[in-house]
Amino acid sequence: MLLPWATCLQAELHMPSPDPSHVLEVEARRATQWTQGLYQARLLTGGVTIRQGTTTIEAQSAVVFSDLEQKPGAPRKLIVYAEGSAEQPVVEKLFAEGSLPGTSPVARQQSPDWFGVLLTDSTIEWRSPPPTNAEDLKPEIVSRALAKLRGEQSLVRQAQFQAPVFGPPVATPPGPQVPNSQGFRQIDIFKRSEVGANIIIEPRPNGETVMVVTEGINIVVSGINVEGLPEFLGEVDSIDLETDRAVIWTAGDVSGTSFQQQNEAPLEIYMEGNIVFRQGDRTVYADRMYYDVRRQSGVVLNAELLTPLPTIDGHTHRGLVRLKAGMIRQLDASRFVATDALFTTSRLELPSYHLGAETIAFEDAQSPKIDPLTGRQAENPVNGMPVYDHQRLATAKDTRVYLGGVPVFYWPTIATNLEEPTFYVDDFRVRSDNIFGTQVLLDLDVYQLLGTPAPPGTEWDLSLDYLSERGFGHGTSYTYDTDYFFGLNGPALGRADLWAIDDGGVDNLGFGRRALIPEKGYRGRAFWNHQQHVTDGLLEGWLAQAEVGWISDRTFLEQYYEAEWDVNKDQTTGARFKRLFYNQALSIEANVQVNDFFTQTQWLPRLDHWILGQEFGGDTLTWFSHSHAAYANYDPATTPADSLATLGYTPFTPFAWERNAEGERLATRQEIDLPLNLEPFKVVPFAMGEVAHWGEDIFGGSAQRTFVHTGVRASIPFWAVNPTIRDPLFNLNGLAHKVVFDAELSYTDASEDFTRFPLYDEIEDDSLEEVRRRFFAPLFAPSLAGLYMAGGAIDPRVDPRVYAIRSGIHNTVSSPTTELVDDQTAVRMGMRHRLQTKRGAPGQERIIDWLTLDTGATWFPNDTEDNFGEPFGLMNYDMQWHVGDRFTILSDGFADTFPFGLQTVSGGVRLNRPSRGNIYLGYRTIRGPFSADLVTATINYRMSPKWIGSASTVLDFSDAGNIGQSFLISRLGEATITSIGLNVDESKGNVGVNFLFEPRFLPRLSLTRRTGIDIPPAGAYGLE
C-alpha cells in the first residue's frame, strides 16, 4: 500500500492545470463554515469531489478557502487542502476532453493529501447542504490546512499556480516553476489613458526580459504571500504605479502584459514623467523614480510622499503627512531616507509651517487593519477602500522648525512617533489675569528632546511655566496605555503628574477668599493613577489598581487644578486588587492618609465580597450578598493654624461625625428576593438584613448593630403604537408611547442610631466638604450660621447623612456606605415615559426617543420622624423633548416641601449643528437654604470658513447678580488656530485674557472640545 505513494513522491509527476474557463464544482455531504481572516473557510466531509473541466479530485475530507472580497475582473480563487487515508487516499483524475460519465480517466494520481490553488474565470458551484457555523474547537485537519497555508510543512502544488490568462495572450505563458514558500506575484500592465501605450519587449540572451513602455502606463503588482497568510498582518505587498514612460527588467521569458512570477524573481522598474506610486494608502508623486519590486527599495527624485496618520486615542487625523525632498531613497517596504527634506501636513506648495532637515529617516510599516467583529479587512465607510494600520517614526538630523519660511527653532536630532505630529512643543499658551499675572505655559515632548523614540502607547511631557504673580512652575507628566507594566502582562492604563512652584503670591478662591495665605511656600502635587487587567501569572484575571495623591497644602489643588478639584474624586494613596467571576466579586485594598488636612479613612487593609443575582431554590428565589472585613483608621481633617488667613472663615469646626476612631469593622448584608410574574404586574417581595460590628464608635467604645429592611417592589408596563401619525413640523413618522409605573414599599428598623458612627465610608468629596464648612461660618453665610450649632450638632434638614438616608442609600447590598441606616417607612413611586418615532432616509429609518419624561416621589407614612412633618418629599422630574435631530427642549426639577428644603426647576433649549455651531439658553430657579435665579446663555458659531466666535454668560437675578462671562474669537489658518479670549469671574474679582496658539493638524483640538464645532485639518477634503 505504501509503494504507490513512494513512487508518486519520488517521481515528481504533476497533472496539467485545469482550464480556468470552466466552472469549478465542489461537492460534499456535509459542510461547516467560518471566517478565517480575509477568507471564507469551509470544512467539507463525507466524501469530497472537486471538478473543473477534465480534472477531478476525490478525498474523504477537505478544507477550502475562498476570497471574502472578489476583485473586479480577477479570476475566482479556491485554496484547497484535501486528506485521505491509507485505505482511501486522495485521488486526482484526468479525463479526456468530451468523455462521458463512467469513462475511465486517461491518468490518475493518488497521495495521502493534496494542497493547491484552483482558479476559474467562471463561477464556483457549491453542491453540498447549506453549511452550518463551525464550533470554536475545530478538527485537527483545520490545523494542518492552516499549516499548509503558511507554507510551514510543504510546497504549494505546482500545477495549480499556472498563471491565468486575462484576455488573448501574445504567446503561451511559460510552464509552471517549482515555487518556494515566498509565494507568487501577479504583474498587470494597463494603458494610462485612452491614447494607449507603446510596449516593446526584448528578450536578452542572459535570460532577462526588458520592456520599454511609452505613452503612459499603469503597472499593478500584487502578491500571493503564502507564508503567514492566516495571520493576515503581513506587510502590504501590492503596489500601483502610473507613469508616462518606463523601462522594466525581469527574469524569464515574458511575452504579454499580464504575467505571474515568483516573489524572489528580480523585477526592476525605472520611470520618468508624472509618476504616481501607491502602496497601501501611501502615495508618492515624483519626476523620476527607480524601484526594485523584489527588495521593495528605490530612489525617487524631486519627490513628494503623502501618507495618512493613524487613529490616536479614538480620534482620527483626517489630513495627510507630507514629505517633500530632492531625493528619497526607499530602503525596503517600510523605510525611507530623504535628503534636503521638508516635512509638514500643509498641502500648499510653499507651506506656512514645516520642519526642514538635512536628512529625515521615515519609517512607515503598514498592515491590513482587521475588523474585530467580522475578521475581514476594515473598509473606509465613505469610499469603500481598504483600511491599513500604520506604525510611523521619523528621525531627523540638523532640524529646524519654520513658520512662514522663517526658522524659529533648531535642534540637532529629533526622533518622533508620528502619532503625535508635533515638533518638540506639545502645548503653548499665553494668558493674563489678576490671580496669576502674565502666564507663559509651555509643554515639551521629552522623547523628542532626548532624540529617543517613544515606546508604543506612552507620552512624556516636560512643563515649564512662568506666572508673573506667583513664580516659576515646573513639572512632568507621563501617560501610558500599554499591554505590559512592571512585569505583568495585560492592558494597563495610567497617568502620572508632578508639578510644583515656589509660590510668591496669595490664593484667590472666590468671594470672601480672595487673598488667602498659602500654608506652604514651595507647593505642588504628586499624582499617579493606574489600572491593569492582568492576563497571566499569579494575578491572572485580577484588576490591579493603584493611586498616589500627595498634595502640599489644603488650597493648592483648588487654586491650580480647579477642574480636578470640582469634578474628580478625592485623590488618595493606596492599592486595590479586584477579581470578577460570574456574578461574584472579591476585592482587597489598603490605603494610607498622606494629606492630613482632609478627612480620610485608612484601610489597613479591607476585604470585600459580593454576590449579585444568585438564583436558588429551583430558580424561585434570588440572593444578593455583600460581606466585608477591615481594620480602619478614621482621621478627621487637621485644624489650620489660622483658619481666617488660610481659608477665609472662622471658626474651623469639625462636623458631627468627625471624631478620631480606629479599629476593626465587620459586616455582612444579605437580601433574598421572591420574583413573582403576576401578569401584567411584576412583583418582587424582598427581605434584607445586616449584622455589623465596629471596634470604635465616635464615643470611643465598640458597637454592634443589626437592621432589617423588607418590603415589596412592583412595576407594570403599558404601551400603544399609532403608525399613521405623520407631522413634518415635529418630525413624526409614526408614534409609540411606552410607560412604566414602578413602586417600592419598604420598612427599615435599625438597632442603633446612625449618629453613633464615624463616616468610615465618606459620602461627600473633599470639595463638597469644604463648601459645607463655609455654609455655617457667620462671616461667609450669616443666614445659614444658625443651622450649625456649637458642640457638633447639625440641623438635620441640611445634614447630608439624613438626605442620603431619606433617598434610600441603604436599600441595596451594594450601598456605598455601611453606617447610614435609620428607622424608616417609605413608599417610593416613579413613572417613566418614552414617546418614540422613526427618522432617517427611506429604508434606513431608526427608532429615536422623541420625548422622554421621568418622574418620581416618595411618601413617608411616618412623616414626623422621617420627613420633618411633610408626608411627601424627594419629588423630581426630568424631561427631554427632541423636536428635531438638532433641536432639544430640556427641563428638570426637584422639591422637598419642608422649610429649608431644596426646591429647584430649570428649563432650556439647545440647538446643535456640529459643523456650524451650537446655542444653549436656560433658566434655573433655586429656593431652600439659599435663593438663586440663574440665566445661562452660550453660543458657539462658525462665522466664516476662517473665523469662529464663542460667548457665554451666567447671571443671577437674585442676590448674587453677575456671576461671569467668557468670550473667545478664533482664526482658522492653514497651519494654526489662533484664539484670543476674555474671561470675567465676578466671584474672584478676576478679569483674564487668554491667547492660544494651536496647530490645526492635531487630531484633538482644544477649540473643538470647548465649542463643539468640528474643525477638520486644512486639506482634509482637498486644497482649501
Secondary structure, 3-state, 528-583: EEEEEECCCCCCCCEEEEEEEEEECCCCHHHHHCHHHHHHCCCCCEEEEEEEEECC
Contact 321, 309 (CB under 8 A): yes
Domain end marker among 831, 861, 882: 882
Grid cell at residue 368: 491590513
DSSP 8-state symbol, 803: H
Assess whether 725 and 650 both reside in one domain.
Answer: yes
Strand arrangement of the beta sheet that strand 24-27 belongs to: 107-111, 90-94, 55-59, 48-52, 24-27, 124-127
Look at 344 and 809; give whichever has higher pLDDT: 809
- Interval 436-445 mean pLDDT: 93
| 681-704 core/surface letters (b: 16 or more CB in 10 A; e: else) | ebebebebebebebbbbbeeeebe
Grid cell at residue 61: 475530507
Question: 987-1006, pLDDT tens digit by residue?
Answer: 888 998 988 877 776 666 77
991 alpha-carbon distance from chain centroid: 38
Residue 851 within a domain = yes
H or E stretch at 767: helix 766-775
Assess whether 811 and 663 both reside in one domain.
Answer: yes
Residue 514 within a domain = no
Residue 633 within a domain = no
pLDDT at 412: 78
Contact 388, 423 (CB under 8 A): no
Query: What are the φ/ψ torsions at residue 184 (nearest 5 degrees)?
Result: -130, 160
Domain end marker among 835, 862, 882: 882
Question: 814-836, pLDDT tens digit by residue?
Answer: 999 999 999 999 999 999 999 99
Give the residue among 356, 299, 345 at the shortest CA–CA distance from 322: 345
- Interval 4-23 mean pLDDT: 58
- Interval 239-256 mean pLDDT: 84
pLDDT at 929: 79
Pairwise CA distance, residues 986 & 990, whole Å: 6
Assess whether 191 and 88 both reside in one domain.
Answer: no
pLDDT at 257: 78
Place 1 in a pLDDT band, splitting at 50, 70 and 90. Answer: very low
Pairwise CA distance, residues 930 & 368, whole Å: 61
Residue 528 within a domain = no
Per-residue pLDDT at 160 exceeds 50: no
Long-range contacts from 935-942, C-beta under 8 angstroms, 24+ separation:
936/908, 940/1010, 940/1011, 940/1012, 940/1013, 941/916, 941/917, 942/915, 942/916, 942/917, 942/1013
Grid cell at residue 360: 529625515
Place of cell 505655559: 441
Per-residue pLDDT at 373 exceeds 60: no
Domain that holds residue 354: 280-285+294-365+384-423
pLDDT at 58: 92
Name 187's Cβ contacts closer than 8 Å, sequence gap at least 6: 219, 220, 221, 250, 258, 259, 260, 261, 267
CA torsion sign for 165, 171, 175, 178 is negative
Per-residue pLDDT at 708 exceeds 80: yes
Assess whether 13 and 128 both reside in one domain.
Answer: yes
pLDDT at 421: 52
Per-residue pLDDT at 234 exceeds 50: no
- Interval 365-387 mean pLDDT: 63
Average pLDDT over the chain reads: 83
Query: What are the φ/ψ torsions at residue 398 (nearest 5 degrees)?
Result: 50, 60
Look at 453 and 312; give whichever has higher pLDDT: 453
Total residue count of the chain as it appears in this document:
1024
Q: In Å, what is the CA distance from 647 to each residue of 513, 672, 780, 1014?
A: 7, 49, 11, 42
- Lowest-confidence segment of 51-55, 783-787, 875-879 by average pLDDT: 783-787
- Lowest-confidence segment of 69-73, 427-431, 558-562, 769-773 by average pLDDT: 69-73
Place 379 in a pLDDT band, splitting at 50, 70 and 90. Answer: confident
Per-residue pLDDT at 320 exceeds 80: no
Q: In Å, what is the CA distance from 255 to each residue of 19, 207, 271, 672?
A: 20, 13, 20, 83
Pairwise CA distance, residues 99 & 107, whole Å: 13
Contact 753, 822 (CB under 8 A): yes
Question: 638-648, pLDDT tens digit by residue?
Answer: 989 888 888 87
Share of the chain above pLDDT 70, in %: 85
Give the residue among 322, 318, 277 at the shortest CA–CA distance from 300: 277
pLDDT at 230: 30
Assess whether 272 and 301 both reside in one domain.
Answer: no
pLDDT at 860: 97
pLDDT at 106: 80
Instruction: Enter the pTM of the model.
Output: 0.68
How many domains does the chain fold into?
Answer: 4
Assess whether 230 and 266 both reside in one domain.
Answer: yes
pLDDT at 447: 86
Residue 995 within a domain = no
Strands 947-956 and 961-972: antiparallel
DSSP 8-state symbol, 103: P
Most confident of 7-16, 258-267, 743-752, 954-963: 743-752
Question: 609-635, pLDDT tens digit by residue?
Answer: 999 999 988 789 999 999 999 999 999
Strands 245-251 and 846-859: unpaired
pLDDT at 225: 43
Assess whether 811 and 667 both reside in one domain.
Answer: yes
Assess whether 306 and 256 both reside in one domain.
Answer: no
Place 455 in a pLDDT band, splitting at 50, 70 and 90. Answer: confident
pLDDT at 557: 96
Share of the chain above pLDDT 90, in %: 44
- Interval 308-336 mean pLDDT: 66
Strands 621-635 and 600-616: antiparallel
Domain end marker among 161, 194, 223: 161
Pairwise CA distance, residues 132 & 28, whole Å: 13
Residue 760 within a domain = yes
Pairwise CA distance, residues 606 & 666, whole Å: 10
Grid cell at residue 144: 494542518
Grid cell at residue 423: 515638533
Assess whether 151 and 215 both reside in one domain.
Answer: no
The dihedral over CA atoms of 640, 645, 650, 651, expressed in degrees to the nearest 10, equals 20
Assess whether 202 and 152 both reside in one domain.
Answer: no
Place 302 in a pLDDT band, splitting at 50, 70 and 90. Answer: confident
Strands 917-927 and 932-944: antiparallel
Residue 606 within a domain = no
Grid cell at residue 658: 468627625
CA torsion sign for 739, 740, 743, 744 is negative
- Interval 28-35 mean pLDDT: 87
Assess whether 147 and 27 both reside in one domain.
Answer: yes
Question: 922-946, pLDDT tens digit by residue?
Answer: 999 999 878 899 999 999 999 998 9
Q: In Å, what is the CA distance from 698 to each residue of 72, 603, 692, 704?
A: 80, 17, 16, 13
DSSP letter string, 240-268:
EEEESEEEEEEES---SSEEEEETTS-EE
Place 1019 in a pLDDT band, splitting at 50, 70 and 90. Answer: low
CB atoms within 10 A of CB 753: 11
Q: In Å, what is the CA distance from 329 to each residue of 300, 629, 771, 977?
A: 6, 67, 64, 34
- Interval 56-79 mean pLDDT: 85
Place 788 in a pLDDT band, splitting at 50, 70 and 90. Answer: low
Assess whether 300 and 269 both reside in one domain.
Answer: no
Place 416 in a pLDDT band, splitting at 50, 70 and 90. Answer: low
Query: What are the φ/ψ torsions at residue 927 (nearest 5 degrees)?
Result: -135, 150
Residue 837 within a domain = yes
